[in-house]
């Protein structure tokens, strides 16, 4: 399963990034990719939310 699929699986109304083997640059790159795809959106304070269709 790729990083995007893993991230999508844990999205609820918001994201809380738990400690993991991913470093911060990998997490931010994945979140940016998901945002460009229109799957999530960034809120104030570097919070992210799944886009409801």
Structural domain count of the chain = 1
Torsion angle in degrees (nearest 10) through CA of 29, 34, 38, 44: -60
For residue 44, give the CATH number of its domain.
1.10.10
Tell me which residue range forms the domain holding 20. 3-50
The span from the CA of 21 to the CA of 47, in Å, is 20
What does pTM read for this prediction?
A: 0.61
1-53 tens-digit pLDDT: 566 666 666 555 455 566 667 777 887 888 889 899 998 888 888 778 878 76
């Amino acid at each position: 399963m790729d990083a995007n699929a893993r991230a999508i699986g844990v999205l609820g109304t918001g994201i809380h990034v738990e400690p993991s083997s991913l470093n911060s640059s990998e997490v931010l790159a994945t979140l940016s990719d998901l945002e460009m795809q229109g799957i999530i959106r960034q809120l104030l304070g570097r919070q992210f939310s799944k886009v409801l269709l």
